[in-house]
Structure 1
Amino acid sequence: MTTPPEPTIRTLDSTVVYTNPWITLREDRIQHPDGTHGIYSVLDRPDFALVIPMENDGFHLVEEYRYPIGRRSWSFPQGSVPHSPSPLDTAHTELTEETGLTAASMTHLGRLDTAHGNTGQRFDAFLATALTPGTPNREHTEQDMRHGWFPRTDLEQMIINGVITDSCSIAAYTLLLLHTPR
């Protein structure tokens, strides 16, 4: 059975509404497959890497105050590095920067969309193992960041209880579970 091609939306023009060093907001005038016109707002952000640092059947997490949600939040280390040559290099940089850890092994788990309804931003998820401790070298904006290690059962309970709500961290953990032999 042949699947028909999916209808596409055509961009008629695009206007940058706002930009700063971290984001660009644009408004696109579009044409739907039936010929009607509309607008679509798109938030452009750089892709990033997320790292799951695992050792002793547990995981290293970072916690910091997240201004948009108005509270502190636990997640796996993640971020973007301007002009980084690759997602793998970004993963190594973010892990060391946020936790001080270095990884002798970094396994790519997958590439996911962050919020495909309003941004084209994607992230690469990596499993970091064979960890060596060190001193974090956090950015100024990460000055309130904390780092902790949690056993697997605690991490999973934190997800169930809504302590970990970062969707990228939860999605990356799901990738890890799918990569783990049963």
Structure 2
Amino acid sequence: MDPIQRVASREVYRNPWMTVREDAVRRPDGSAGIYGVVDKPTYALIIPLDRDRLRLVEQFRYPLGLRRWEFPQGTAPDLAEVPPAELARRELREETGLRAAEMTELGQLDVAPGLTSQRGHVFLASGLTEGEPEREPEEQDMRTAWFSRSEVEKMISSGEITDAQTVAAYGMLLLHERG
């Protein structure tokens, strides 16, 4: 049995990328409470690796009011659930124009489990070929560039890369390579 039980739920907001719901809950001691949850579809994050170079994208992140460098990542449109490897290939092509001969799943990440149900799959993309990006309207300001590993590590250390999923995925890559 779950420590917290949902008694009732109501949707309070919806758009093409997420829904927000408020759940009436019962805690283990029997007391009542509420829980707000942001539901978003599963996302894929892709680490494009070519020898010692990593491909990042930079875009304006409206909630922060800042431009941020991160690994390509995203969800399918209209709250659709898409098989993770298919989604990873689509996001990689869409944001960078790259096509990968191989996609290796490195693991899963939970974005913010105290706030959202969203989970992500991290993929290592290799055997890359260049192509033209196929960006969505929200991504029209996106830039993309190759960085050496040492540059990426300096960007993480200096706070230039602050996207939690990117930092965690880079750690997953390092663990994967250690075997």
TM-score range, shorter chain: over 0.9
Contact 2:76 2:82 (C-alpha < 8 Å) held by counterparts: no
**Letter of the 2:166 counterpart:** S
Any gaps of 5 or more consecutive residues in structure 2? Answer: none
Contact 2:107 2:122 (C-alpha < 8 Å) held by counterparts: yes
**Letter of the 2:15 counterpart:** N
Greater shift, 76-85 or 93-102, is seen at: 76-85
Contact 2:49 2:55 (C-alpha < 8 Å) held by counterparts: yes
Distance 1:72 1:168 in 2: 16
Equivalent residue number for residue 114 of structure 2: 117
Equivalent residue number for residue 127 of structure 2: 130
SS at match of 1:72: strand
Distance 2:117 2:19 in 1: 12
**Letter of the 1:52 counterpart:** I
Are 1:34 and 2:29 an aligned pair? yes
Equivalent residue number for residue 40 of structure 2: 45
The CA RMSD over aligned residues, in Å, is 1.3
Contact 2:42 2:81 (C-alpha < 8 Å) held by counterparts: no
Select the residue among 71, 92, 104 that pairs with 2:101: 104
CA-CA distance at 1:181 after TM superposition: 2.1
Equivalent residue number for residue 9 of structure 1: 4
Distance 1:47 1:161 in 2: 29
Change (3 A) 1:31 1:76: same
Equivalent residue number for residue 79 of structure 1: 74
CA-CA distance at 1:56 after TM superposition: 2.2
TM-score by length of 2: 0.95
CA distances 1:95-134 after superposition (whole Å, capped 9, x unpaired): 0111011010110000111100011100000000111011
Are 1:58 and 2:56 an aligned pair? no
Distance 1:31 1:157 in 2: 46
Equivalent residue number for residue 150 of structure 1: 147
CA distances 1:74-112 after superposition (whole Å, capped 9, x unpaired): 000001124464100000010011101101011000011
**Letter of the 1:124 counterpart:** H
SS at match of 2:63: helix
Q: How does 1:160-179 map to 2 (within 5 A)?
A: 160-179=157-176
SS at match of 1:88: helix
Distance 1:40 1:173 in 2: 32
Name the % identity. 52
Any gaps of 5 or more consecutive residues in structure 1? Answer: none
Distance 2:134 2:11 in 1: 34
Q: Which has the larger radius of gyration?
A: 1
**Letter of the 2:169 counterpart:** A
The ranges of structure 1 where at least 4 consecutive aligned residues each deviate by more than 6 angstroms after the TM superposition are none
